[in-house]
Structure 1
Amino acid sequence: MEKFYHFLTLAGIGLYWILVAGVTIRVVLKRRAVSVSLAWLMIIYIIPILGVACYFLFGELNLGRKRAERAKEMLAPFADWFSLLNDCHAHAPENFGRHIYRIDELCNNRFGLPALSGNSLSLQSSPDEILHSIIEDIENAQTSIRMVFYIWHPGGLADSVASALIQAAKRGVDVKLLLDSAGSHRFLRSEWEKMMRTAGIEVVQALEVSPWRIFLRRLDLRQHRKIIVIDEKIAYTGSMNLVDPAYFKQDSGVGQWIDIMIRVTGPTVNVLSAIHCWDWEVETGERTFPSLPECRIDPDEPQHPVQVVPSGPGMPEHLISQVLTLAINQANRSVRITTPYFVPSADLVATLKMTAQRGINVELIIPHKNDSVMVQWASRAFYSELLSAGVKIYEFYGGLLHTKSVVIDEEFCLVGTVNMDMRSLWLNFELTLAIDDLEFTKEMYWLQQSYMDDSHLVDIDQWKNRSMYSRFLERVFYLFNPLL
């Protein structure tokens, strides 16, 4: 019997060694950033068995066989639809500013998706203003409402939005609602979901979370976009989920979430509608395309070109990451960034450092307290090298700063759903607007300044004197970079 147990022990060790060796080879052979591969190897070797399990669950981009095949088949038809926009008068690159011109080139060459002029943009930064505006537009809807959100959380004015949708459906408006299964789990189990279905609203769970699928699809791959399209005439996108901050995560100890949304009219609305159509088909297999936009542009009016930049499985890889890098590299005077989750890739860190080192004023505004303790400590692991390169880091004290924005030279900006972490830039379904509108950009810059007025500038000398305990936690959580 003792020999039998000895044999089982040796066999277990041997099988574990083969498993670890196999996963190690797979990690090394995958074409991705060296820092990501090294982080995974650290996790696999430091946390036996659990590290290997984490890699199988989170280590590779796995959309699931059916969705992956569907997304692959969709790329050409959607690229063809987007390419039709190049014949539209709203696509006039000869009138584009220098910032958006190169971004239009990149998105057009990779996805056939051009920047379009003739838009009207409204920056909304108050939760009440945002939700009341959405409710009013829903109440005036005539034909269709399309929505996709990562989180819909019941309570407060979010319930008023749900009521407005139900009333719209009852008067004959076609309503399609796509909600991430993990982010919106409370709403999808609530009475609101049942009442919506009863009223005729199509409610679809994106990337359904199920114990039967844990090894068939990467669980932390999420539908993170926030889009509303009403009658193909009005659209919203930005950082805010469908929540009333006064009723959301009140026990997390970080204060209310601080967000923005952008209300859009003009040709960009049809592009945002097409992104919803993409997401809807990935999940349901149902293909529809929006109507092509009306492109009558008055050359005497401000052009306000906007480039819609989507990313996610099936779409051109790392497109938002490329646009972000391109925008930062074009800066001549300043780069100001707000993000709630800052766990950047080595490439992004190098870009920020180089930008500061060539004399550009680089400012980063992030929350002092985060709803993710792991992210909070991992973020601080980057402070020393960024501060040493001349990047200014501000910690915001007025709540969880959830706004995702980049302003370049006070002339051009990126706003959307994307966090400065590898999950957003490399993994999730995300959306950014690249906006060449001086007036809108000034508003965004002033809003960022109001965040800075409620922030503390991190002093490099004080930072160097932080405790060994803090340094230890920073390095420990930095190891989990691929999971954050």
Structure 2
Amino acid sequence: MHVKIEVAKIAKFIAMMFCLMLFVSCKSIPIIAPDMAMRPSHIVQFNGAHGPLTTQQSKAILARLKKDSADTPIFDRHLVLESEIVGSPLVMGNKVELLVDGPKTYDSMYSAIENAKDHINMETFLIEDDEIGRRFAELLISKQRSGVQVNLIYDSFGSIYTPKEFFKPLKESGANVLEFNPINPLVVQKDWQINARDHRKLLIVDGQIAFVGGINISSVYSKGSFSRSKPTDDDPPWRDTHLRMIGPVVSEFQKLFMTTWGEQKGEPLASRNYFPELTKKGNEVVRAIGSSPEEPYSQIYVTLLSAINSAENQIFLTNAYFVPDPKLLTALKEAAQRGVDVRLLLPEKTDSNMVFYASRSYYDELLSANVKIYERQDALLHAKTALVDDVWSTIGSTNLDWRSFLNNQEINAIILGADFGTQMHALFEQDLESSKQVVLEEWRKRSIGVRIKERAARLWARWL
């Protein structure tokens, strides 16, 4: 009896995905990265608080980064290529704070909003009509009424279950509210694209503080993931990572917000000091990277590929949705086979079964290539971070899947240096303490039903 039920479930699963694939129709695999061959070397340029630095100053900064880091060629082999394929500069003089999980992140955001003096620019994939969403709305309305200009971008698909009435008080207070790629046929734009999403999570306050990471505005983040209390299967805590930044790089994130506002044809923004003069606040070197499906390739994707291909010692990837394309899959396997310690931290619980099974369909070939895989227990992993050779870190909204690389607007911060790398390494090890390693011999003992689901979901990988 149980066998018949299981077979019926599998058949239903396959039939559903077959129908979905027919609906979308088949497409050829696109080229989502340029030629990754190394190009002629030139000096990596840095920006400071007052713009581009001289060649001599840039060389001095690069030398200091190398001196403070482990013995790794990542700066020589990776940064030159990155500077050629990414439009934004490497900016020095920043202070970066690592924020772990929702409670700490929200408290920091609340404080920044409450102390705003000039403007608040916010861009989010999801803002829910729940306790957290209403708290943010109340704060934004209060600041708008006090004379601080509020500009909000939210994704139409991501916030599809948030009623339009939720945004009405914001608009009535004078805040500018922009719906990204509206899916309502009555207000759909002429160049509307069914798959276009604004998956970014960005908050900028007074042009002086920037928040970037993986955390949406939702009550699912109300609990921390490292609590000693045992979570329930129905309401697991969400594990995520965010950043708070001050310093000259904030203006680069502000430019990305302004570009999206303009491309989505938002109402003209009220005159404010969106680009104040920024001074040095710390010693971190940061690059702001925003990717858009309008570009010929994903800048975040090619930057990550370059870092992986340049790695000599270690690659730690933490990601909620892992459905790699052939180039990323090959890069990870080749890195492990040349002796790099490649570790993937992936979810044991998920909010997307399709992605969950598609992700697991790659486990066998990755484990066979000596890539280590861990699954975070007792929490729903939603973070999107990477650490290479303990000196190259990135945190942002980008998942390791086709949707992020092809269809989404994404935003990431790249931080160079051993000091921040040490923090990232410690956080990764902390997650491993709450994780279970996947062992190849045990993995191959999974049931035929699970294997069929994995294979079926993998057929759908391109459209997840």
The interval holding the TM-score normalised by the smaller chain is: 0.7 to 0.9
* TM-score between both structures, scaled by the size of structure 2: 0.81
Deviations 1:236-294 (A, max 9, x none): 0001011232569x999472221121000001110001000011111115677986674
Q: 1:393 to 1:342 in 2, by over 3 A?
A: same
Q: In structure 2, which of residues 262, 280, 283 is the aligned counterpart of residue 303 of structure 1?
A: 283
Deviations 1:340-383 (A, max 9, x none): 11110011000000000001111101111211111111111100
Q: 1:389 to 1:446 in 2, by over 3 A?
A: same
Q: CA deviation at 1:295?
A: 6.4
Q: In structure 2, which of residues 162, 168, 174 is the aligned counterpart of residue 194 of structure 1?
A: 168
Q: Which residue matches 2:299?
A: 319
Aligned positions of 1:25-424 closer than 5 A = 47=18, 51-55=21-25, 87-89=51-53, 93-94=58-59, 95-96=61-62, 97=65, 99=74, 105-106=80-81, 108-191=83-166, 193-211=167-185, 217-245=192-220, 253=234, 255-284=236-265, 294=277, 303-424=283-404
Which runs of no fewer than 5 residues in structure 2 stay unpaired?
1-13, 31-45, 66-72, 224-230
Q: CA deviation at 1:99?
A: 3.9
Q: 1:174 to 1:188 in 2, by over 3 A?
A: farther
Q: Which amino acid aligns with 2:199?
A: H
Question: Contact 1:138–1:230 (CA<8 Å) still a contact in 2?
Answer: yes
For 2:239 and 2:331, locate their aligned partners in 1 and report how far apart those are by CA, in whole Å: 27
Q: 1:90 to 1:52 in 2, by over 3 A?
A: farther
For 2:406 and 2:460, locate their aligned partners in 1 and report how far apart those are by CA, in whole Å: 16
Q: Which amino acid aligns with 1:265?
A: I
Q: 1:59 to 1:111 in 2, by over 3 A?
A: same
Q: 1:323 to 1:336 in 2, by over 3 A?
A: same
Deviations 1:420-468 (A, max 9, x none): 1011122210011110132222222211212111111001111122222
Q: Which amino acid aligns with 2:220?
A: P
Q: Which residue matches 1:40?
A: none
Q: 1:136 to 1:261 in 2, by over 3 A?
A: same
Q: 1:108 to 1:170 in 2, by over 3 A?
A: same
Q: Which amino acid aligns with 1:430?
A: E
Which of the pair is proportionally richer in helix? 1
Question: Contact 2:386–2:395 (CA<8 Å) still a contact in 1?
Answer: yes
Which runs of no fewer than 5 residues in structure 1 stay unpaired?
1-42, 62-81
Q: 1:316 to 1:232 in 2, by over 3 A?
A: farther
Q: 1:480 to 1:252 in 2, by over 3 A?
A: farther
Question: Contact 1:107–1:113 (CA<8 Å) still a contact in 2?
Answer: no
Point out the structure with max Rg over C-alpha. Answer: 1
Q: CA deviation at 1:471?
A: 1.4
For 2:76 and 2:137, locate their aligned partners in 1 and report how far apart those are by CA, in whole Å: 39
Deviations 1:24-81 (A, max 9, x none): xxxxxxxxxxxxxxxxxxx9xx947x6443138x9899xxxxxxxxxxxxxxxxxxxx
Deviations 1:194-221 (A, max 9, x none): 1111111111100111357699643232
For 1:251 and 1:176, locate their aligned partners in 2 and report how far apart those are by CA, in whole Å: 37
Question: Contact 2:48–2:92 (CA<8 Å) still a contact in 1?
Answer: no
For 2:351 and 2:181, locate their aligned partners in 1 and report how far apart those are by CA, in whole Å: 23
Question: Contact 2:129–2:163 (CA<8 Å) still a contact in 1?
Answer: no
3-state SS of paired residue (1:141)? coil
3-state SS of paired residue (2:303)? helix
For 2:196 and 2:369, locate their aligned partners in 1 and report how far apart those are by CA, in whole Å: 33
Q: 1:117 to 1:223 in 2, by over 3 A?
A: same
Deviations 1:286-335 (A, max 9, x none): 677986674655xxx96311111111133352211110011112212111
Question: Contact 1:339–1:420 (CA<8 Å) still a contact in 2?
Answer: yes
3-state SS of paired residue (2:408)? coil
Q: 1:353 to 1:423 in 2, by over 3 A?
A: same
Question: Contact 1:60–1:218 (CA<8 Å) still a contact in 2?
Answer: no
Q: 1:148 to 1:302 in 2, by over 3 A?
A: closer
Q: 1:172 to 1:86 in 2, by over 3 A?
A: closer
Question: Contact 1:341–1:379 (CA<8 Å) still a contact in 2?
Answer: yes
Paired residues, number? 414
For 1:107 and 1:326, locate their aligned partners in 2 and report how far apart those are by CA, in whole Å: 7
For 2:258 and 2:366, locate their aligned partners in 1 and report how far apart those are by CA, in whole Å: 40
Identity %: 30
Deviates more, 1:280-289 or 1:395-404: 280-289
3-state SS of paired residue (2:284)? coil
Aligned positions of 1:12-23 closer than 5 A = none
Question: Contact 1:234–1:269 (CA<8 Å) still a contact in 2?
Answer: yes
